[in-house]
Amino acid sequence: MGPIKQASLTLDPAGMRLQPGQGLAQQIYAQLKDKILHGSLAPNARLPTTRELALALQVSRNTVVRAYEALISEGFVLGRVGSGCFVAELAKLVAEPVGGGHPPARGAVAPRTTLWACLQDFEPTPTLGPQARAFRHGLPALDLFPHALWSRLQARFWREQARPRSKSPRQAGQTVSLSYGEPAGLPRLRELIAAYLSHSRGLQCGADQVLITAGSQQAISMAALALLRPGDRVGMESPGYRAAAAALGLSGAQVVPVPLDGQGLRIAALQALGPLAMVYTTPSHQYPTGVTMSLQRRLDLLAWAEREQAWILEDDYDGEYRFNGVPLAPLATLDQRQRTLYVGSFSKLLFPGLRLGYLVAPAAWLTTLAKLRSVLDRQSSIADQVVMADFMAEGHFLRHVRRMRRAALERRDSFLSAWAQDLAPSLPLAYRSLRMQPIDAGLQAFWPLPSRALETRLVAAARAAGIELGGVAAVGGLPAHSQEAGLVFGFASVTPPDIRRAVAALAQAWRPIFERS
């Protein structure tokens, strides 16, 4: 222990001010630490005894003892409480921040990575209030979610965790724990998803091809990280899902917009773009325009991918919502060369806050994809995976999908009839040709518009009337691309009466705009 210094740099308790209330020991500790770090308590200075300091600060001696013990255990102070404490001799103390005083000036140095710069430019879809309102897009009929059933399944999971010995036969050989699990996902859930895809979606695949992800967004970001190199070019439908475009850029790839027509992605335009490493597409129900890719286009796209040795990333975010006939088989079912990765999600069938989705990929890739998952965030929540597996295995899932499809169909019809009755007739003649795109599938309608300027005005007027509308600029505008315009109406998240009220309100809110133009 060093010699005792002169009084000039020992502690003068008069300068210490404590806020009344909890945490007195913490305050003493923090103020002493600060004085030591900034040199106003010099190395080797002797601290007052705990009794002296307690008296000076009018606190209990125990409080000071706790503060001293913390300083000793962290190495700021040497000695033993009760037999003399000294400030430790520390080299390279913290310099005063430029400008003096603290807390330190805000404004940390900004990271200088390319990704950081890209992210700063990225405008994600804004987070909206919790109450679903007409016509928020991207949401299913959350009001139909079987809360009570889901809660019961969760309670059962926890009961079984509490009594690990009394396994139900359902779980025999499938014991799970609260510990770390398989990064690829709960084996039982992977099997159930493979069976669902094979039986209900026509996509023959094994559990060894299914990777559980935290929603479709993670499936896309993982594909981008695993398959794309900096400088690669990725084709993407335009307008398209902006969050997917951002994910595709994660490893430094450049996203190139590919125009659409009534049959989907234009293959001739794709070919004209030159070599691409990947194409991202939503063939079942293009986001946001709602176009279904024709069979010929699907075949052409696969032939192109084979020729170019490119990957196809198929995002089937709402493929279950097919209103005319059976749901279309995914593009991946036509792929004989394993160039298509298939992305699915439970967000549009159960609820987005669940964060469960999946990526279907060649079986030979699964080990490496699972390693990527383990490096990114290890795995999905174990309780959610078990409950989801039970929900599927016990038949609730297929029943719920049917009910959700019926509800979406009913809400679509309410929307279309309210539109035809209340809104379409209120449009001036010049705008009557702006027809709502047919809605054969999905959770939203798309209304093409002649200009972004009109789109902006209509969105603003709707918002003023309390109605949420996504313009292409906000929901599907890829950067640096031409100015398609239109409005997206999410009709599935609210009930028919709300839909009718909202259409009537829109007709009124928009009248001045259409009359002026």
- Residues 186-205, interacting with its own copies (CB under 8 A): 199, 202, 204
CA 90 vs CA 3, 34, 44, 83, 169: distances in Å: 15, 13, 10, 21, 63
Q: Which helix (H) or strand (E) holds 365?
A: none
Q: Does 166 bind its own copies (CB under 8 A)?
A: no
Binding mask 355-374 for its own copies (x = CB under 8 A): x-----xxxxx--x--xx-x
Does residue number 60 form part of the binding site for its own copies (CB under 8 A)?
no
Which residues in 7-26 contact its own copies (CB under 8 A)? 22-23, 26
| The two structure tokens encoding residue 394 | 């016990």
- Least CB distance from residue 190 to its own copies, whole Å? 14
Q: Pick from 2, 7, 84, 102: which binds its own copies (CB under 8 A)?
A: 102
Contact with its own copies (CB under 8 A) among 31, 217, 281, 286: 217
Query: 278 forms bridges with which residues in the sheet?
Result: 234, 311
Residue 169 in contact with its own copies, rule: CB under 8 A: no
CA angle 73, 74, 80 (to 5 degrees): 40
Member of 42, 52, 144, 351 binding its own copies (CB under 8 A): 351
Residue given tokens 């040795």 in the structure block: 309
Residue 29 binds its own copies (CB under 8 A): yes
Cis check for the bond before 275: say yes or no (omega within 30 of 0).
no
158 binds its own copies per the rule CB under 8 A: yes
Instruction: Using the rule CB under 8 A, give the single segment among 29-37, 189-197, 404-412, 478-486 that binds its own copies.
Output: 29-37
Q: What is the largest CA-CA distance in the chain?
A: 95
Q: Are strands 311-315 and 278-281 parallel, antiparallel or unpaired?
A: parallel
Pick from 323, 472, 487: which is nearest to 412 by CA? 323
**Considering CB under 8 A, how many residues would be counted as binding its own copies?**
135
Residue 431 sits in the site that holds its own copies (CB under 8 A): no
72 binds its own copies (CB under 8 A): yes
Contacts to its own copies from residues 482-511, by CB under 8 A: none
Of residues 223 and 418, the one with the C-beta less far from its own copies: 223
Terminal-to-terminal C-alpha distance of the chain: 86
- The answer to the question of residue 73 lying near its own copies (CB under 8 A) is yes
Q: Single out the residue of 51, 170, 337, 406 in contact with its own copies (rule: CB under 8 A).
A: 337
Q: Nearer Cβ to its own copies, position 56 or 295?
A: 295
Q: Which residue has the tokens 């789109």?
A: 455
Q: Which CB atom, from 307 or from 516, has the smaller least distance to its own copies?
A: 307
Q: Is 127 in the site for its own copies (CB under 8 A)?
A: yes
C-alpha distances in Å from residue 299, one per residue of 60, 302, 361? 81, 5, 19
Residue 14 CA to residue 2 CA, distance in Å, equals 25
Considering only residues 289 through 308, tell me which ones interact with its own copies, judged by CB under 8 A: 294-296, 299-300, 302-303
Distance of CA 378 to the CA centre of its chain: 16
182 binds its own copies (CB under 8 A): yes
Q: Tokens 């005083």 label which residue? A: 101
Q: Supply the minimum distance, in Å, between the C-beta of residue 432 and its own copies.
A: 30
**Is the CB of residue 280 less than 8 Å from the CB of residue 234?**
yes
Member of 17, 112, 435, 516 binding its own copies (CB under 8 A): 112
The owner of tokens 């993670």 is 218
Query: Least separation, in Å, of the C-beta of 156 and its own copies?
Result: 9
Q: Is 99 in the site for its own copies (CB under 8 A)?
A: no
Q: Which of 334, 434, 465, 504 binds its own copies (CB under 8 A)?
A: 334
H or E stretch including 357? strand 357-360
Any contact of residue 172 with its own copies (CB under 8 A)? no
Q: Is 274 in the site for its own copies (CB under 8 A)?
A: no
Q: Is 173 in the site for its own copies (CB under 8 A)?
A: no
Residue 514 CB, shortest distance to its own copies, in Å, is 32
State the minimum distance, in angstroms, from the CB of residue 313 to its own copies: 12
Q: Please state, as a whole number, how many other Cβ atoms lie within 10 Å of the Cβ of residue 412.
A: 23
Give how far Cα 67 sits from Cα of 33, 55, 90, Å. Answer: 10, 15, 19
CA 188 vs CA 178, 293, 299: distances in Å? 16, 33, 33
In DSSP terms, 237 is beta-bridged to 258
